Structure 1
Amino acid sequence: MISRLHYISQETPGKTHLQNIEEACKAGVDWVQLRLKNKSEEEVLDIATQAKAICKEHKAKLIINDYVAIAKKVKANGVHLGQGDMDPIEARKLLGDRPYIGGTANTWDQVEALAMAQVDYIGLGPFRDTTTKENLSPILGIKGISAILNHMIIEDVHIPIIAIGGIRVEDIFDLQLSGCHGIAIASLINSSENKTDTINDIKYCLPDGEF
Protein backbone atom coordinates (compact mmCIF):
# COMPACT_ATOMS: atom_id res chain seq x y z
CA MET A 1 0.00 0.00 0.00
CA ILE A 2 1.28 3.45 -0.93
CA SER A 3 1.31 5.58 2.21
CA ARG A 4 -0.49 8.90 2.21
CA LEU A 5 2.42 10.59 4.01
CA HIS A 6 5.87 10.32 2.46
CA TYR A 7 8.59 11.65 4.74
CA ILE A 8 11.73 12.94 2.98
CA SER A 9 14.96 12.99 4.94
CA GLN A 10 17.25 16.00 5.31
CA GLU A 11 20.20 17.14 7.32
CA THR A 12 19.23 20.03 9.58
CA PRO A 13 21.37 22.18 11.89
CA GLY A 14 22.77 19.81 14.51
CA LYS A 15 21.02 16.71 13.15
CA THR A 16 21.96 14.13 10.54
CA HIS A 17 19.69 12.33 8.10
CA LEU A 18 19.71 9.31 10.39
CA GLN A 19 18.81 11.29 13.50
CA ASN A 20 15.91 12.95 11.71
CA ILE A 21 14.75 9.63 10.25
CA GLU A 22 14.75 7.99 13.67
CA GLU A 23 12.81 10.89 15.20
CA ALA A 24 10.29 10.86 12.36
CA CYS A 25 9.78 7.09 12.66
CA LYS A 26 9.29 7.36 16.41
CA ALA A 27 6.81 10.16 15.77
CA GLY A 28 4.68 8.02 13.47
CA VAL A 29 5.81 8.07 9.83
CA ASP A 30 5.72 4.74 8.03
CA TRP A 31 7.23 5.74 4.66
CA VAL A 32 10.72 7.22 4.55
CA GLN A 33 12.45 8.50 1.45
CA LEU A 34 16.21 8.76 1.99
CA ARG A 35 17.32 11.65 -0.20
CA LEU A 36 21.09 12.11 -0.18
CA LYS A 37 22.92 14.61 -2.36
CA ASN A 38 26.60 15.51 -2.72
CA LYS A 39 27.85 12.35 -0.99
CA SER A 40 30.03 9.51 -2.21
CA GLU A 41 28.46 6.14 -2.98
CA GLU A 42 30.30 4.70 0.02
CA GLU A 43 28.67 7.29 2.28
CA VAL A 44 25.27 6.67 0.70
CA LEU A 45 25.61 2.92 1.22
CA ASP A 46 26.59 3.36 4.86
CA ILE A 47 23.74 5.77 5.60
CA ALA A 48 21.23 3.65 3.65
CA THR A 49 22.23 0.53 5.60
CA GLN A 50 21.65 2.32 8.91
CA ALA A 51 18.41 3.90 7.66
CA LYS A 52 17.12 0.44 6.68
CA ALA A 53 17.79 -0.82 10.22
CA ILE A 54 15.94 2.14 11.74
CA CYS A 55 12.96 1.71 9.42
CA LYS A 56 12.82 -2.03 10.06
CA GLU A 57 12.79 -1.44 13.82
CA HIS A 58 9.85 0.97 13.48
CA LYS A 59 8.04 -1.02 10.76
CA ALA A 60 8.45 1.78 8.22
CA LYS A 61 9.15 1.37 4.51
CA LEU A 62 12.45 2.74 3.21
CA ILE A 63 12.60 4.26 -0.27
CA ILE A 64 15.99 5.29 -1.65
CA ASN A 65 16.15 8.36 -3.87
CA ASP A 66 18.13 7.77 -7.07
CA TYR A 67 20.60 5.03 -6.03
CA VAL A 68 18.99 1.91 -7.51
CA ALA A 69 21.94 -0.44 -6.96
CA ILE A 70 22.25 0.64 -3.33
CA ALA A 71 18.51 0.18 -2.82
CA LYS A 72 18.89 -3.38 -4.06
CA LYS A 73 21.95 -4.01 -1.90
CA VAL A 74 20.33 -2.86 1.37
CA LYS A 75 16.99 -4.47 0.42
CA ALA A 76 15.11 -1.19 0.58
CA ASN A 77 11.39 -1.24 -0.10
CA GLY A 78 11.83 0.77 -3.27
CA VAL A 79 13.36 3.69 -5.12
CA HIS A 80 12.27 7.16 -6.13
CA LEU A 81 13.59 8.41 -9.46
CA GLY A 82 13.85 11.99 -10.64
CA GLN A 83 13.66 13.00 -14.29
CA GLY A 84 17.46 12.81 -14.59
CA ASP A 85 17.82 9.48 -12.81
CA MET A 86 17.66 5.90 -14.13
CA ASP A 87 14.75 5.01 -16.38
CA PRO A 88 12.02 3.31 -14.30
CA ILE A 89 11.88 0.41 -16.77
CA GLU A 90 15.60 -0.26 -16.25
CA ALA A 91 15.15 0.07 -12.49
CA ARG A 92 12.39 -2.53 -12.60
CA LYS A 93 14.67 -4.95 -14.43
CA LEU A 94 17.29 -4.55 -11.71
CA LEU A 95 14.96 -4.61 -8.70
CA GLY A 96 12.32 -7.13 -9.73
CA ASP A 97 8.58 -6.93 -9.21
CA ARG A 98 8.23 -6.32 -5.48
CA PRO A 99 10.01 -3.04 -4.66
CA TYR A 100 8.10 0.18 -5.19
CA ILE A 101 9.26 2.48 -7.97
CA GLY A 102 8.19 6.10 -7.84
CA GLY A 103 8.94 8.90 -10.25
CA THR A 104 8.95 12.69 -10.20
CA ALA A 105 6.83 14.73 -12.61
CA ASN A 106 6.13 18.40 -13.25
CA THR A 107 4.06 18.19 -16.46
CA TRP A 108 1.35 16.06 -18.02
CA ASP A 109 3.84 14.68 -20.58
CA GLN A 110 6.08 13.49 -17.73
CA VAL A 111 3.12 11.90 -15.94
CA GLU A 112 2.13 10.12 -19.15
CA ALA A 113 5.69 8.82 -19.66
CA LEU A 114 5.86 7.54 -16.08
CA ALA A 115 2.48 5.87 -16.51
CA MET A 116 3.77 4.09 -19.59
CA ALA A 117 6.79 2.98 -17.55
CA GLN A 118 4.32 1.53 -15.00
CA VAL A 119 5.66 3.29 -11.91
CA ASP A 120 3.82 2.62 -8.66
CA TYR A 121 3.30 6.27 -7.74
CA ILE A 122 4.21 9.75 -8.96
CA GLY A 123 5.57 12.64 -6.93
CA LEU A 124 3.97 15.69 -8.58
CA GLY A 125 5.27 19.17 -7.94
CA PRO A 126 6.59 21.45 -6.78
CA PHE A 127 3.41 22.69 -5.17
CA ARG A 128 5.14 25.90 -4.10
CA ASP A 129 8.69 27.23 -3.83
CA THR A 130 10.95 25.13 -1.62
CA THR A 131 14.56 25.43 -0.50
CA THR A 132 15.06 21.67 -0.14
CA LYS A 133 15.71 21.10 -3.84
CA GLU A 134 18.07 22.73 -6.31
CA ASN A 135 17.17 23.45 -9.96
CA LEU A 136 13.49 23.63 -9.10
CA SER A 137 10.93 22.94 -11.83
CA PRO A 138 8.15 25.47 -12.49
CA ILE A 139 5.78 25.92 -9.54
CA LEU A 140 2.45 24.14 -10.11
CA GLY A 141 0.30 25.37 -7.24
CA ILE A 142 -3.15 23.93 -6.70
CA LYS A 143 -4.31 24.96 -10.19
CA GLY A 144 -1.44 23.18 -11.92
CA ILE A 145 -1.78 20.02 -9.87
CA SER A 146 -5.57 19.97 -10.34
CA ALA A 147 -5.20 20.42 -14.11
CA ILE A 148 -2.85 17.44 -14.37
CA LEU A 149 -5.08 15.27 -12.18
CA ASN A 150 -8.10 16.20 -14.33
CA HIS A 151 -6.09 15.25 -17.42
CA MET A 152 -5.36 11.89 -15.80
CA ILE A 153 -9.09 11.29 -15.37
CA ILE A 154 -9.78 12.19 -19.01
CA GLU A 155 -6.98 9.88 -20.20
CA ASP A 156 -8.00 7.09 -17.77
CA VAL A 157 -4.61 7.07 -16.01
CA HIS A 158 -4.80 5.62 -12.51
CA ILE A 159 -1.59 6.09 -10.52
CA PRO A 160 -1.40 7.44 -6.95
CA ILE A 161 -0.27 11.06 -7.03
CA ILE A 162 1.84 12.37 -4.15
CA ALA A 163 2.00 16.16 -4.05
CA ILE A 164 5.39 17.56 -3.11
CA GLY A 165 7.10 20.90 -2.58
CA GLY A 166 6.71 23.34 0.28
CA ILE A 167 3.42 21.84 1.49
CA ARG A 168 1.90 23.21 4.70
CA VAL A 169 -0.76 21.66 6.89
CA GLU A 170 -3.36 24.14 5.63
CA ASP A 171 -2.74 22.97 2.03
CA ILE A 172 -3.65 19.33 2.63
CA PHE A 173 -7.43 19.65 2.34
CA ASP A 174 -7.25 21.37 -1.06
CA LEU A 175 -4.75 18.79 -2.31
CA GLN A 176 -7.11 16.02 -1.23
CA LEU A 177 -9.98 17.67 -3.09
CA SER A 178 -7.83 17.87 -6.21
CA GLY A 179 -7.52 14.08 -6.16
CA CYS A 180 -4.04 13.60 -4.70
CA HIS A 181 -3.50 10.27 -2.94
CA GLY A 182 -1.11 11.85 -0.46
CA ILE A 183 1.68 14.30 0.22
CA ALA A 184 5.46 14.25 0.57
CA ILE A 185 6.90 16.36 3.38
CA ALA A 186 10.47 17.39 4.17
CA SER A 187 11.02 20.73 5.92
CA LEU A 188 7.69 20.86 7.73
CA ILE A 189 8.67 17.75 9.67
CA ASN A 190 12.44 18.12 9.70
CA SER A 191 12.36 21.66 11.09
CA SER A 192 9.68 20.87 13.66
CA GLU A 193 10.63 21.07 17.34
CA ASN A 194 7.91 18.53 18.09
CA LYS A 195 7.71 16.03 15.24
CA THR A 196 4.99 13.98 16.95
CA ASP A 197 2.60 16.93 17.11
CA THR A 198 3.42 17.97 13.55
CA ILE A 199 2.88 14.48 12.16
CA ASN A 200 -0.35 14.10 14.12
CA ASP A 201 -1.57 17.40 12.65
CA ILE A 202 -0.75 16.14 9.16
CA LYS A 203 -2.43 12.77 9.73
CA TYR A 204 -5.54 14.48 11.07
CA CYS A 205 -5.94 16.25 7.72
CA LEU A 206 -5.47 13.12 5.62
CA PRO A 207 -8.45 10.93 4.65
CA ASP A 208 -9.49 8.27 7.13
CA GLY A 209 -6.08 8.39 8.78
CA GLU A 210 -4.97 5.65 6.35
CA PHE A 211 -1.30 4.78 6.73
Structure 2
Amino acid sequence: MARKDADAKATLWSVAAAQRGYFTAAQALESGYSHQSQRYNAEQGNWRRVDRGIYRFREFDALPSDEDDHLARWELWSKGRAVVSHETALAVHDLGTANPARIHLTVPPGFRMRNDALVLHQAVLNANEIEQRQGYKVTTPVRSIAECAAAQVDQDVLDSAVAEALERGVVSRRRLFDAAQRLGPPAELSIDRALREAG
Protein backbone atom coordinates (compact mmCIF):
# COMPACT_ATOMS: atom_id res chain seq x y z
CA MET A 1 0.00 0.00 0.00
CA ALA A 2 2.85 2.40 0.86
CA ARG A 3 4.41 1.69 -2.55
CA LYS A 4 1.13 2.46 -4.28
CA ASP A 5 0.82 5.75 -2.34
CA ALA A 6 4.40 6.70 -3.22
CA ASP A 7 3.77 5.95 -6.89
CA ALA A 8 0.62 8.08 -6.86
CA LYS A 9 2.46 10.98 -5.24
CA ALA A 10 5.38 10.73 -7.69
CA THR A 11 2.99 10.70 -10.65
CA LEU A 12 0.96 13.66 -9.39
CA TRP A 13 4.09 15.56 -8.37
CA SER A 14 5.40 15.24 -11.91
CA VAL A 15 2.16 16.70 -13.28
CA ALA A 16 2.02 19.50 -10.69
CA ALA A 17 5.68 20.47 -11.09
CA ALA A 18 4.95 21.54 -14.68
CA GLN A 19 2.02 23.64 -13.37
CA ARG A 20 3.81 25.58 -10.59
CA GLY A 21 2.61 23.04 -8.00
CA TYR A 22 -1.06 23.28 -8.91
CA PHE A 23 -3.22 20.36 -9.99
CA THR A 24 -6.86 19.43 -10.39
CA ALA A 25 -8.92 16.81 -8.59
CA ALA A 26 -9.23 15.02 -11.94
CA GLN A 27 -5.44 14.92 -12.32
CA ALA A 28 -5.12 13.57 -8.77
CA LEU A 29 -7.69 10.87 -9.52
CA GLU A 30 -5.86 9.93 -12.70
CA SER A 31 -2.59 9.72 -10.71
CA GLY A 32 -4.09 7.22 -8.26
CA TYR A 33 -5.71 9.31 -5.51
CA SER A 34 -9.28 8.30 -4.67
CA HIS A 35 -11.80 11.00 -3.75
CA GLN A 36 -11.46 9.92 -0.11
CA SER A 37 -7.67 10.16 -0.31
CA GLN A 38 -7.92 13.62 -1.85
CA ARG A 39 -10.15 14.82 0.97
CA TYR A 40 -7.71 13.37 3.52
CA ASN A 41 -4.70 15.14 1.97
CA ALA A 42 -6.54 18.46 1.90
CA GLU A 43 -7.71 18.09 5.50
CA GLN A 44 -4.21 17.14 6.68
CA GLY A 45 -2.71 20.19 5.00
CA ASN A 46 -0.63 18.20 2.52
CA TRP A 47 -2.52 19.96 -0.24
CA ARG A 48 -3.83 23.51 -0.14
CA ARG A 49 -7.29 23.89 -1.63
CA VAL A 50 -7.12 26.84 -4.03
CA ASP A 51 -10.51 26.65 -5.70
CA ARG A 52 -13.20 24.11 -6.35
CA GLY A 53 -11.39 21.05 -7.65
CA ILE A 54 -7.97 22.80 -7.69
CA TYR A 55 -5.16 22.17 -5.19
CA ARG A 56 -1.51 23.00 -4.70
CA PHE A 57 1.17 20.93 -2.99
CA ARG A 58 2.05 22.73 0.25
CA GLU A 59 5.76 22.33 -0.52
CA PHE A 60 5.41 24.81 -3.39
CA ASP A 61 4.06 27.47 -1.02
CA ALA A 62 7.36 27.29 0.87
CA LEU A 63 9.52 27.69 -2.24
CA PRO A 64 10.62 31.09 -3.55
CA SER A 65 7.93 32.01 -6.05
CA ASP A 66 7.76 33.97 -9.25
CA GLU A 67 5.27 36.80 -9.54
CA ASP A 68 3.35 34.85 -12.17
CA ASP A 69 3.03 31.51 -10.31
CA HIS A 70 -0.66 32.13 -9.63
CA LEU A 71 -1.42 32.33 -13.36
CA ALA A 72 -1.06 28.54 -13.62
CA ARG A 73 -4.07 28.25 -11.34
CA TRP A 74 -6.26 30.11 -13.85
CA GLU A 75 -5.07 27.85 -16.66
CA LEU A 76 -6.45 24.90 -14.68
CA TRP A 77 -9.59 26.79 -13.68
CA SER A 78 -10.38 27.44 -17.35
CA LYS A 79 -9.65 23.82 -18.29
CA GLY A 80 -6.84 25.02 -20.54
CA ARG A 81 -8.98 27.41 -22.55
CA ALA A 82 -7.79 30.77 -21.17
CA VAL A 83 -4.79 32.78 -22.31
CA VAL A 84 -3.30 35.52 -20.12
CA SER A 85 -3.78 38.73 -22.08
CA HIS A 86 -4.12 42.51 -22.18
CA GLU A 87 -2.56 44.41 -19.25
CA THR A 88 -1.75 41.21 -17.35
CA ALA A 89 0.23 40.00 -20.37
CA LEU A 90 2.11 43.32 -20.47
CA ALA A 91 3.06 42.74 -16.82
CA VAL A 92 4.18 39.15 -17.61
CA HIS A 93 6.37 40.47 -20.45
CA ASP A 94 7.59 43.27 -18.13
CA LEU A 95 6.56 45.91 -20.64
CA GLY A 96 5.72 49.37 -19.38
CA THR A 97 3.84 50.36 -16.27
CA ALA A 98 0.79 48.06 -16.44
CA ASN A 99 -0.33 46.91 -13.00
CA PRO A 100 -3.93 45.71 -13.34
CA ALA A 101 -6.04 45.14 -10.23
CA ARG A 102 -7.63 42.07 -11.82
CA ILE A 103 -6.25 39.35 -14.06
CA HIS A 104 -7.07 39.66 -17.74
CA LEU A 105 -7.69 36.46 -19.69
CA THR A 106 -8.81 35.89 -23.26
CA VAL A 107 -11.24 33.00 -23.61
CA PRO A 108 -13.05 31.47 -26.60
CA PRO A 109 -16.48 32.79 -27.60
CA GLY A 110 -19.18 31.02 -25.62
CA PHE A 111 -16.99 30.55 -22.53
CA ARG A 112 -19.40 30.72 -19.57
CA MET A 113 -17.31 30.50 -16.39
CA ARG A 114 -16.85 33.65 -14.27
CA ASN A 115 -14.77 34.78 -11.31
CA ASP A 116 -14.59 38.20 -9.63
CA ALA A 117 -10.78 38.14 -9.74
CA LEU A 118 -10.86 38.13 -13.53
CA VAL A 119 -11.62 40.33 -16.52
CA LEU A 120 -12.56 38.01 -19.38
CA HIS A 121 -12.22 38.97 -23.04
CA GLN A 122 -13.72 36.73 -25.72
CA ALA A 123 -11.72 36.24 -28.90
CA VAL A 124 -10.28 33.56 -31.15
CA LEU A 125 -6.48 33.72 -30.99
CA ASN A 126 -4.15 32.36 -33.65
CA ALA A 127 -1.36 30.01 -32.58
CA ASN A 128 1.26 32.63 -33.54
CA GLU A 129 -0.31 35.08 -31.04
CA ILE A 130 0.29 32.79 -28.05
CA GLU A 131 3.40 31.86 -26.06
CA GLN A 132 3.54 28.84 -23.78
CA ARG A 133 4.98 29.49 -20.33
CA GLN A 134 5.42 27.01 -17.50
CA GLY A 135 1.86 26.20 -16.45
CA TYR A 136 0.00 28.78 -18.54
CA LYS A 137 -0.29 30.53 -21.91
CA VAL A 138 0.15 34.25 -22.59
CA THR A 139 -0.38 36.45 -25.63
CA THR A 140 2.79 37.53 -27.45
CA PRO A 141 4.14 41.05 -26.84
CA VAL A 142 2.75 42.26 -30.20
CA ARG A 143 -0.72 40.86 -29.52
CA SER A 144 -0.67 42.08 -25.89
CA ILE A 145 0.09 45.65 -26.92
CA ALA A 146 -2.41 45.65 -29.81
CA GLU A 147 -5.24 44.25 -27.70
CA CYS A 148 -4.55 46.84 -24.99
CA ALA A 149 -4.78 49.52 -27.66
CA ALA A 150 -8.09 48.07 -28.89
CA ALA A 151 -9.40 47.98 -25.30
CA GLN A 152 -8.45 51.65 -24.91
CA VAL A 153 -6.22 51.22 -21.87
CA ASP A 154 -4.66 54.40 -20.52
CA GLN A 155 -2.46 55.91 -23.24
CA ASP A 156 0.43 56.39 -20.81
CA VAL A 157 0.43 52.65 -20.08
CA LEU A 158 0.39 51.90 -23.80
CA ASP A 159 3.12 54.46 -24.56
CA SER A 160 5.44 52.96 -21.93
CA ALA A 161 4.83 49.40 -23.19
CA VAL A 162 5.49 50.34 -26.82
CA ALA A 163 8.64 52.29 -25.95
CA GLU A 164 10.10 49.41 -23.93
CA ALA A 165 9.12 46.78 -26.49
CA LEU A 166 10.82 48.74 -29.28
CA GLU A 167 13.89 49.45 -27.15
CA ARG A 168 14.29 45.77 -26.27
CA GLY A 169 13.68 44.69 -29.87
CA VAL A 170 10.77 42.37 -29.03
CA VAL A 171 8.48 44.09 -31.57
CA SER A 172 8.88 46.12 -34.73
CA ARG A 173 6.90 49.20 -35.70
CA ARG A 174 5.50 47.42 -38.75
CA ARG A 175 4.33 44.35 -36.84
CA LEU A 176 2.74 46.52 -34.16
CA PHE A 177 0.84 48.58 -36.68
CA ASP A 178 -0.26 45.49 -38.64
CA ALA A 179 -1.58 43.88 -35.44
CA ALA A 180 -3.43 47.08 -34.54
CA GLN A 181 -5.00 47.27 -38.02
CA ARG A 182 -6.45 43.79 -37.57
CA LEU A 183 -8.16 44.95 -34.35
CA GLY A 184 -9.75 48.09 -35.79
CA PRO A 185 -9.50 51.91 -35.91
CA PRO A 186 -9.35 52.57 -32.11
CA ALA A 187 -6.33 50.24 -31.85
CA GLU A 188 -4.69 51.83 -34.90
CA LEU A 189 -5.09 55.32 -33.48
CA SER A 190 -3.69 54.41 -30.05
CA ILE A 191 -0.73 52.54 -31.54
CA ASP A 192 -0.01 55.41 -33.93
CA ARG A 193 0.10 57.82 -30.96
CA ALA A 194 2.37 55.48 -29.00
CA LEU A 195 4.73 55.05 -31.96
CA ARG A 196 4.94 58.81 -32.46
CA GLU A 197 5.59 59.27 -28.74
CA ALA A 198 8.40 56.69 -28.92
CA GLY A 199 10.05 58.81 -31.63
Task: Give the TM-score normalised by structure 2.
Answer: 0.28
Instruction: Give the structure with the higher percent helix.
Output: 2
For the pair shown, which has the larger CA radius of gyration, 1 or 2?
2
User: Which structure ranks higher in relative contact order (CA pairs < 8 Å, sequence separation ≥ 6)?
Assistant: 1
